[in-house]
Structures are given as structure tokens and as C-alpha cells.
């Protein structure tokens, strides 16, 4: 049990027993023992420097690709706010804070006549999480446009990490879990805003037709195994529209799980594990979760 009085003195705000179901797209999950909203990067850096090493911490964004278990999260949950939403352009390089949404970055790039980030209009979530997991869709991914990232490491030091130092793979990277991304630079290409907008509109149209974007969902549930599409495997084992507790496999897109309104995180996780077992049994293929599952059962 953490006593707030024993945590570092900060300019930001602490809150005990924060309901994480209110912050995730699935609208499920337990409580954060402590929720910390730093005032700015300096406040966050000093917090990490002074935090007792035995106290765990975890950064979460808007919870678009996240399942928090019903037992909640022990330790400190960090959420980055307004101070981490800066965007600016220097030549053909665009900088965005970690709390900038992927959609806002795509629109900002368009308004400045910079192409290459159009795919981000189809990615829910924030830049920090998107960089960490190498988000992507419709043929684009963060690894293709990243120039550098700004991080606070486990000692609280602010570092600039170049693209060459990062090993990006499909929906993952080698960035340490205890590093906090606070911003990133992107190499983009001059392009007509009209051309960029047309590309973004087409991606948005395809997404609206193919994905249950108005439901309580967490985005793509599983990574596509090499040589397969996850949704096709799920469909072929007969689980399109399958329900378990308050959770359901989307009838529109089988690689999306939906909270029908009264689901527990356990319902969603158990439905995902049922899918994995069925696909393994029929096709001998291991589906790997793309959604990040954290917390106590």
C-alpha cells in the first residue's frame, strides 16, 4: 500500500484509487493505486529521480490499445497531459509531444504540407504509445517516418535517441519498458495539402466501413501471424459474433473484441484466450496479443 506522503513532492497532481475504466476504450478495468499527472517534463524527470526504486510505475495514454485487468494496477500510473502536446515544424521535420493524438499529428502535418503521416489518421491513440509499439495501418508504420525520440530513462535523465538506435519490428520495438517517451521527431516529405487530405479521407473511409469504430473496443486484438491474417483465422474457426459474458467478437471485423456494455476485463481476456486456443487447435498457429494486457487479475 502506497502512502502519497511518501512519494516525491511534485508540481503535478496525485490521485488515489483512480478508476481506469473511465480512461480506456474498452471501458473496463480496476483502479490505479496512485494516478500521477506531471506538470511538465521537468516535473516528471524529478519524480522518477526521487521515486523509491521498489515502487513500480507505468505510463498509459488514452487506453486505445490497452486492457487493464479487473484487479487494477499497483504502484503509480502516469498520464501525460497538456505540457506534452506541443507540435512544431522545423524544415521537413515535425516534432510532436507524446500526448499528441495520432489524428492530430496527421492533421498538423497536412496543414503544414508535409506528407508521410497520413496513415496515422487510421490509428487510435497517442504518439507515445504509437512509437513504443510501432503502430501502423494501411501500409504505413511509425518506423518508416521516425527520426528520433525524447525519453526519460529509469534514472530520470532526459535523452534523445536516434532512429538508428531503435530496433523496430512488427508492432513492437526494443525500447525498455521503464523508459517514458515524452516526444518524437518525424521525417516527412513536402506534399500538397490537397493530396494529403485525399489520402487521409480514403483511409478514414476504409476504416469506417471495415472496423467497429463506434463500439467499446481496443483496436486490433492480435498481430497478424506471418503468412496469415488474424481476422481470417478467427472467422474460419467460427467465432465471428461469438459472445462470452459481456464481450463479443465483432461481427464486422473478427480481429476486434467489443464490450457490449457490461463486460469485465476478464470477459474480454478470456474471449481472446478462447480465440487463441481454437486457432492453435485448428491451424497450429499461435496468435499473439497486439492489445497490451496489464494489471492484477
Instruction: Find the catalytic residue in 69, 79, 171, 276.
Output: 171
Digit-coded pLDDT (tens) for 99-144: 999 999 999 999 999 999 999 999 999 999 999 999 999 999 999 9
Average pLDDT of span 253-268: 98
Instruction: Find the catalytic residue in 33, 118, 269, 290.
Output: 290
Mean pLDDT of the chain: 97
Which pLDDT score is estimated for 99? 98
Q: Taking 90 as the threshold, does the pLDDT of residue 173 lie above it?
A: yes
Model pTM score: 0.94
* Alpha-carbon gap, residue 35 to 7, rounded angstroms: 12
User: Annotated catalytic, 265?
Assistant: no
The domain 4-82 is classified under which CATH number: 3.30.43.10, 1.10.10.60, 3.40.50.300, 3.30.450.90? Answer: 3.30.43.10
Q: Where are the domains of the chain?
A: 4-82, 85-209, 213-294
* Alpha-carbon gap, residue 111 to 193, rounded angstroms: 6
Split at pLDDT 50, 70, 90, the class of 3 is confident
User: Annotated catalytic, 101?
Assistant: no
Which pLDDT score is estimated for 92? 83
Digit-coded pLDDT (tens) for 25-61: 999 999 999 999 999 999 999 999 999 999 999 999 9
Architecture of domain 85-209: 2-Layer Sandwich (3.30)
Instruction: Find the catalytic residue in 220, 265, 269, 276.
Output: 220
User: Annotated catalytic, 171?
Assistant: yes
Architecture of domain 213-294: Alpha-Beta Complex (3.90)
> Hey, do 4-82 and 85-209 end up sharing a CATH topology, with the first three levels equal?
no
* Alpha-carbon gap, residue 136 to 102, rounded angstroms: 10
Q: How many CB atoms lie within 10 A of CB 221?
A: 27
Q: Taking 90 as the threshold, does the pLDDT of residue 1 lie above it?
A: no
Amino acid at each position: 500500500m502506497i502512502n502519497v506522503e511518501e512519494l516525491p513532492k511534485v508540481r503535478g497532481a496525485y490521485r488515489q484509487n483512480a478508476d481506469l475504466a473511465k480512461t480506456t476504450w474498452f471501458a473496463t478495468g480496476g483502479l490505479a493505486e496512485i494516478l500521477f499527472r506531471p506538470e511538465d517534463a521537468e516535473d516528471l524527470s524529478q519524480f522518477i529521480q526521487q521515486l523509491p526504486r521498489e515502487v513500480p510505475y507505468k505510463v498509459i495514454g488514452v487506453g486505445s490499445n490497452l486492457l487493464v485487468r479487473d484487479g487494477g494496477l499497483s504502484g503509480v500510473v502516469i498520464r501525460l497531459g497538456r505540457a506534452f502536446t506541443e507540435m512544431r515544424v522545423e524544415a521537413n521535420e515535425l516534432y510532436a509531444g507524446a500526448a499528441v493524438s495520432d489524428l492530430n499529428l496527421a492533421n498538423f502535418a497536412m496543414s503544414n504540407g508535409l506528407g508521410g503521416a497520413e496513415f496515422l489518421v487510421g490509428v487510435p491513440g497517442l504518439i507515445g504509445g504509437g512509437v513504443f509499439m510501432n503502430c501502423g495501418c494501411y501500409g504505413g508504420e511509425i518506423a518508416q517516418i521516425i527520426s528520433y525520440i525524447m525519453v526519460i530513462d529509469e534514472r530520470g535523465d532526459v535523452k534523445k535517441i536516434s532512429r538508428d538506435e531503435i530496433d523496430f519490428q512488427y508492432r513492437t520495438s526494443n525500447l525498455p519498458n521503464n523508459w517514458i517517451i515524452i516526444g518524437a521527431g518525424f521525417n516527412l516529405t513536402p506534399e500538397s495539402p490537397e493530396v494529403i487530405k485525399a489520402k487521409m479521407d480514403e483511409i478514414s473511409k476504409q476504416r469506417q466501413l471495415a472496423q467497429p469504430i463506434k463500439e467499446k473496443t481496443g483496436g486490433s486484438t492480435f498481430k497478424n501471424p506471418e503468412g496469415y491474417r488474424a481476422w481470417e483465422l478467427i472467422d474460419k474457426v467460427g467465432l465471428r459474433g461469438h459472445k462470452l459474458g459481456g464481450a463479443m467478437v465483432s461481427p464486422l471485423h473478427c480481429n476486434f473484441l467489443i464490450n457490449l456494455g457490461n463486460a469485465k476485463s476478464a470477459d474480454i481476456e478470456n474471449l481472446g484466450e478462447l480465440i487463441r486456443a481454437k486457432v492453435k487447435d485448428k491451424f497450429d498457429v499461435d496468435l499473439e496479443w497486439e492489445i497490451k494486457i496489464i494489471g492484477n487479475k
